[in-house]
Amino acid sequence: DAKTTQPPSMDCAEGRAANLPCNHSTISGNEYVYWYRQIHSQGPQYIIHGLKNNETNEMASLIITEDRKSSTLILPHATLRDTAVYYCIVRPYSGNTGKLIFGQGTTLQVKP
């Protein structure tokens, strides 16, 4: 079972920031939070990951709470091409084979 909880859907106006929440209250101390997205009819795409510090790259920012029980993915200026399903994944560590366990994700609809 996925170890994360996300809202099933969200809307965002084009050009505005999209803030996608994720709860991972049972996260272990050495587990990372990963975000992937899947645009319709494509394979998933890696976005960003973090352990406890906030992270930023060219695609997004990741804000992790101090207790690490939740995080927020921020797309600073959403475009129509950001419409996708966004998956928040806590990386299994014990006996880690590297596999990703996907939940249902959040369907983000960016509207003009």
Partner 1 sequence: GAGVSQSPSNKVTEKGKDVELRCDPISGHTALYWYRQSLGQGLEFLIYFQGNSAPDKSGLPSDRFSAERTGGSVSTLTIQRTQQEDSAVYLCASSLVSGLAGSGNEQFFGPGTRLTVL
Note whether 22 binds partner 1 by CB under 8 A: no
Distance CA 102, CA 99 (A): 10
Q: Are 19 and 66 in contact (CB under 8 A)?
A: no
- Stretch near partner 1 under the rule CB under 8 A, chosen from 4-12, 16-24, 25-33, 68-76: 25-33
Determine which residue in the list 1, 58, 66, 97 makes contact with partner 1, applying CB under 8 A.
97
Note whether 21 binds partner 1 by CB under 8 A: no
Note whether 29 binds partner 1 by CB under 8 A: no
Distance CA 58, CA 101 (A): 25
Structure tokens at 31: 């587990």
Note whether 108 binds partner 1 by CB under 8 A: no
Q: Which is nearer to partner 1, 24 or 91 (CB)?
A: 91
Give the residue among 20, 28, 29, 11 at the shortest CA–CA distance from 103. 20
